[in-house]
Amino acid sequence: MKQTRINKLFGIEHAIIQAGMVWTSGWKLASAASENGCLGLIGAGSMKPDLLSEHIQKLKNYYKENNINKPFGVNLPLIRGDVKDLINTILKEEIKIVFTSAGNPKQYSDIFKYNGIILVHVVASVKHALKAQDSGCDAVVAEGFEAGGHNGVDEITTLCLVPQVVNAVDIPVIAAGGIASGAQIAACMALGAEGVQIGTRFAATIESSSSSSFKQKIVDAKDSDTYLTMKKLNPVRLLKNKFALNVIEAERKGASADELKEILGKKREMKGIFEGDLDEGELEMGQSSGLVNDIISVKDLVNRLLNEYSIAVSNI
């Protein structure tokens, strides 16, 4: 793959970021991604501060025991009620790379920068990309409508979002949303992205900590099997299982934010992704699930992505 500012920024071989996903991106997935030349992220979204500490320490110990020296980072959703405690954990554990999402990075950018942390924010519009740049972020992830899990309100797709963000900002842009193949990585690089962030495809690896029945659902999903729901709360893309179909039906009837909150209840993500409750859980996955046909190791995945990338580049 082409070398870009993203390789330099993180000190990584391939400009591929493994997304920090709830109940999925523990230390095993993050270390496997980093070990294989990508940037691995531990997803703090489903972790209390103590559990985050534990995952970071396990990863560090594993690297120490195996003489591995590769960069990794933490993804931090800023809407978390205990965000300050999580930031304290990140500082205490001397994390050097943080990806923030779901919120305004301005509030916390000073503390990250003061501590020498490379800061990247996930955005879904040009306006928020400019705000992230103004907040001192070192790069942005431009994530399109097709992405799994939490999503922007403007519904801009990766194909349209990436080139507009690239035009608008000076910092490097990482494309995200819908990417599961090397051909799609090549497409995003053609749009001016300097790297890609990949979620769903990494969720269906052996090292991902989500339940095996959730992983199998990613493999089984077809092109039209996900939908962006909960638009009056925080939009989230889900596999259209029993729970999601209930939400879609309620939304068609004009359900209010409060009614949706009640339908949602609590811990649906854990139920679906981690415990494998395929009917009543939230099964967060992107439209790229239609392109995922197997559960493989991270090593095999990275090799495949690089191979597909080369073929795609040589074909245009």
Q: Is 228 in the site for a copy of itself (CB under 8 A)?
A: yes
Q: Which residues contact 258 (CB under 8 A, 6 or more apart)?
A: none
* Shorter beta-carbon distance to a copy of itself: residue 104 or 115: 104
Q: Is 155 in the site for a copy of itself (CB under 8 A)?
A: yes
CA distance linking residue 216 with residue 24, whole number of Å: 14
Q: Smallest Cα–Cα separation from 92: which of 124, 57, 139?
A: 57
**Residue 276 Cα to chain centre, angstroms:** 20
Is the four-CA dihedral 60, 66, 70, 74 of positive or negative sign? Answer: negative
Given the rule CB under 8 A, which of 7-15, 57-65, 82-90, 174-182 is the region that contacts a copy of itself?
A: 174-182
Taking CB under 8 A as the criterion, the residue among 184, 205, 208, 209 binding a copy of itself is 184
Taking CB under 8 A as the criterion, the residue among 9, 12, 95, 183 binding a copy of itself is 183
Binding to a copy of itself (CB under 8 A) within 124-143 occurs at 125-127
3-state secondary structure 252-290: HCCCCHHHHHHHHCCCHHHHHHHCCCCCCCCCECCHHHH
Q: Is 288 in the site for a copy of itself (CB under 8 A)?
A: yes
Q: Is 116 in the site for a copy of itself (CB under 8 A)?
A: no
Q: Phi and psi of 107, rounded to 5°?
A: -55, -35
Tokens 């989230």 sit at which residue? 236
CA angle 270, 276, 281 (to 5 degrees): 55
Q: Is 191 in the site for a copy of itself (CB under 8 A)?
A: yes
Site string for a copy of itself, 45-74 (x = CB under 8 A): ------------------------------
β partners of residue 313? none
* Shorter beta-carbon distance to a copy of itself: residue 253 or 266: 253
CA distance linking residue 215 with residue 180, whole number of Å: 14
Q: Is 241 in the site for a copy of itself (CB under 8 A)?
A: no
Given the rule CB under 8 A, which of 75-83, 92-100, 106-114, 227-235 is the region that contacts a copy of itself?
A: 227-235
Q: Determine the residue type at 284.
A: E
Q: Is 195 in the site for a copy of itself (CB under 8 A)?
A: no
Which residues make up the interface to a copy of itself (CB under 8 A)?
2, 125-127, 144-146, 154-161, 163-164, 167, 177-179, 181, 183-184, 186-192, 222-224, 227-228, 232, 252-255, 286-288, 290-291, 312-313, 315-316
